[in-house]
Amino acid sequence: MKKNIGTVDKIIRGVLGLILIYVGGSVYTTNQVLSIIFFVVGLLLIITSMVGFCFLYTLLGITTKKESSEPPSPAM
């Protein structure tokens, strides 16, 4: 599994995931189905930001991770 999520994308996903979990837990307490949907989508965003891999990006051939042009430094 090759990582395909860049740093900015990780930050956006993490913040948006936290917002969706908050909204799902506090704002939509009257509509439980919508609350669960917000919570699950928020959780998925947080997981993909921590792992650095998005399956949907793989299907669409998208990557936001910039490849390093420098060769890796040799281990000492």
Question: Is pLDDT at 60 greater than 70 in this prediction?
Answer: yes
Q: For residue 48, how far is the Cα from the chain centroid?
A: 4
Q: Is residue 34, in this structure, part of any structural domain at all?
A: yes
The number of domains in the chain is: 1
Segments forming the whole domain that contains residue 53: 7-60
Region 37-45: what's the mean pLDDT? 94
Q: Is residue 70, in this structure, part of any structural domain at all?
A: no
pLDDT of residue 63: 86
| pLDDT band at residue 45 using 50, 70 and 90 as cut-offs | very high
Q: Is residue 67, in this structure, part of any structural domain at all?
A: no
Q: Is residue 75, in this structure, part of any structural domain at all?
A: no
pLDDT of residue 27: 76
| pLDDT band at residue 15 using 50, 70 and 90 as cut-offs | very high
Question: Is pLDDT at 37 greater than 80 in this prediction?
Answer: yes
Region 13-20: what's the mean pLDDT? 96
Q: Is residue 2, in this structure, part of any structural domain at all?
A: no
Q: Is residue 68, in this structure, part of any structural domain at all?
A: no
The upper half-sphere exposure of residue 34, i.e. CA atoms within 13 Å in the direction of its Cβ, equals 7
Q: Which two tokens stand for residue 43?
A: 């959780």
